[in-house]
Amino acid sequence: MEQRDPGPFDRILQAEPPRQRDVAATVIVCAAVLLGALLLVLVLPPVSILDDGGSSSLGSVTTTARDEFPPPPAGYEAVSALLDVTSSGSSRAPARLTLRLTVPVSADDQLSLFTYQNGSWRRLGDATVLGDGVAAQGEVPVLPGNVAVLRQAQGARLVFGSLPAGGTLDARAAGALTTLNIAGFSPSPAGAVLGEPPGLPSSVDVAPSIAATTDAEIDTVNQILGSPELSAVHVQSIREFADAGSYAGIDLDYRSIDPALNEAFVSFVRDLSAALAEDGRRLTLTLPLPTRTADGWDTLGYDWERLAPLVSAIKLAPVAEGDQYYARTEVALGYLVPRVGSAKLLLTVSPLSHERGSDGVRALALMEALSLASVPEVQGDGPLAAGASVQLAGRNLVNGAGTGGLHWDETARAVSFSYTGSGGQRTAWLANLFSEGFKIDLARQYALAGIAIEDVSQAAADANIWPAVLQYAETGAVELVKPNGQLLQPQWTASGGQLESAGGALVTWRAPSEPGTYTLTLIVSDGVLRVGQELIVSVQAPGSTARP
């Protein structure tokens, strides 16, 4: 048989030992992949647009890359140019966009299509990696005026903030938030969305919160979930509401549904999430923490494992009572993280202080809480005689044992004080940079997606938790600091007479020997702010009806 030189494909076709054959095939496959990626880079235009709208036609489409790229939204980085898009046909047609990337990406990277309008970014939808990381593709319901591909930054942490209805945004919030949830919206019995849209900031994505918190609103939600027809109407109403406001998404705070409506709620969330996703919008939920019971776990009717894949994030409703926050939250996280993962969970922190009494728990701003702690009084009855000694007390700092003051509560990890007041024993926990730093650290410990701030209005600005928030957003960690104990000691001043001790919740003051009007001042601090209140007292001459 005539001998011939082996051809270029003979090594592949001839019988070889398995290992040699596998190596050769692998080399060919890898070479083909690399060649395909190279060809894609060489031939792919900056953007390829396919009309995906059936009878509608986009016509000819042209794109122009901008020379300057606006700063990406917090938590994202640009991986393509920002391309202005014009069409000779209908710009209202849906389209499939393929964009060439300016930096290589991996298949695990989370990519999104964004458009830049009126000075702010709006997410259009997800994008998938093509061509070994050299291109990305996504679908849009309407051809945008411009488009770019953004990648979620490595280790990026989400920071959501809630703005109460009618509230004014704290100026420091804009630079820290990735999403602003504006409150003041609720469901109507007919399935519509009630509430007046406020003016929107241009520096951050806005996702309004539609909430059911009153008994009437909760009944309304239960009625909607109990009716497939009303549920469908509610989904469409929310979709139209989001579209009319050009919102980035919707936050749904239906945290108190009838547990028997569990299946209906999952179906509702699935339908709403799909409807919003078609428009490039996100859905987040606010849900109550599951609680441990003698029989296991009570999820209060929420199927976390089925809900989590349907939404972009779930905000954990906070525990208001400071001495229960960590016990309940850490146990709940220990239950949730193995079941739904940490990448969908947002820990809620708050700049609002809380006071608990027999009448329940109420929220109050830090300045209000410190004002409550700084009320001075003179103990005893009747007028005060010149030269007499009396006890001065912080009315809301002295407990039934005659002691008290502000102190660091290790259980609550917050400054606290207790006193005997309306309904008996009352306890206040102060929210500030120290307390919320310890809470934020839980998000680090459990590798959560980020945090949600309960109130980002100017009304809660005194707590100034922003240094801790920014540090966490930028580094993923927060410095844990406790206040100087000496700064928590109440201080007294007097315009006359003599204080036997200037510090303490209860001190002795010797009145001046000269009759007249004098000012006593009680000053308290949470370790950062100092607040004082004055008490005007009248000192009478000896021999009067004054106290000796």
Same domain, 209 and 273: yes
Q: Given 418, 450, 475, which residue is the final one in a domain? A: 475
Predicted confidence (pLDDT) at residue 404 exceeds the cutoff of 80: no
Q: Which helix (H) or strand (E) holds 211?
A: strand 209-211
Neighbours of 286 (CB within 10 A): 23
pTM of the full structure: 0.75
Domain annotation covers residue 419: no
Domain annotation covers residue 286: yes
At residue 400, the pLDDT reads 52
Q: Which residue range(s) make up the domain with 202? A: 158-354+432-475
Same domain, 83 and 17: no
Same domain, 184 and 267: yes
Residue 323 CA: distances (Å) to CA of 391, 416, 433, 509:
31, 10, 18, 35
Q: Each residue of 438-471: pLDDT tens digit?
A: 999 999 999 899 999 999 999 999 999 999 999 9
Name the more confident of 165 and 201.
165
Distance, in Å, from the CA atom of 352 to the CA atom of 448, rounded to the nearest integer, reads 22
Same domain, 186 and 273: yes
**Count helices and strands in the chain by DSSP H and E runs:** 10, 35
Domain annotation covers residue 520: yes
Domain annotation covers residue 165: yes
Neighbours of 299 (CB within 10 A): 20
Tell me the residue type at 503: G
Domain annotation covers residue 411: no
Same domain, 338 and 436: yes
3-state secondary structure of 350: coil
Mean pLDDT of the chain: 86
Same domain, 104 and 169: no
Same domain, 382 and 265: no
Q: Given 152, 177, 198, which residue is the final one in a domain? A: 152
Same domain, 32 and 54: no
Check which CATH number belongs to the domain holding 527 and give it: 2.60.40.10
Same domain, 253 and 378: no
Same domain, 36 and 167: no
Nearest residue to 253 via CA among 207, 206, 322, 290: 207
Question: Which of 30-39, 449-458, 460-469, 507-516 shows the lowest mean pLDDT across its residues?
Answer: 30-39
- Cβ–Cβ under 8 Å, residues 527 and 364: no
At residue 325, the pLDDT reads 96
In the block, tokens 């976390």 appear at 304
Confidence of residue 58 (pLDDT cuts 50, 70, 90): low
Q: Which helix (H) or strand (E) holds 41?
A: helix 18-43
At residue 6, the pLDDT reads 42
Domain total in the chain: 4
Domain annotation covers residue 296: yes
Same domain, 260 and 350: yes
Percent of the chain with pLDDT over 90: 64
Domain annotation covers residue 362: no
At residue 49, the pLDDT reads 60
Rounded to an integer, the average pLDDT of 468-485 is 93
Extract the tokens encoding 358: 């027999």
At residue 57, the pLDDT reads 58
Name the more confident of 338 and 152.
338
Q: Given 152, 186, 216, which residue is the final one in a domain? A: 152
Same domain, 278 and 343: yes
How open is the CA angle 285-287-293, to the nearest 5 degrees?
155
Domain annotation covers residue 402: no
Predicted confidence (pLDDT) at residue 22 exceeds the cutoff of 60: no
Q: Each residue of 234-275: pLDDT tens digit?
A: 999 999 999 999 999 999 999 999 999 999 999 999 999 999
Distance, in Å, from the CA atom of 502 to the CA atom of 491, rounded to the nearest integer, reads 6
- Angle between helix axes 262-278 and 228-244 (nearest 10 degrees) is 30
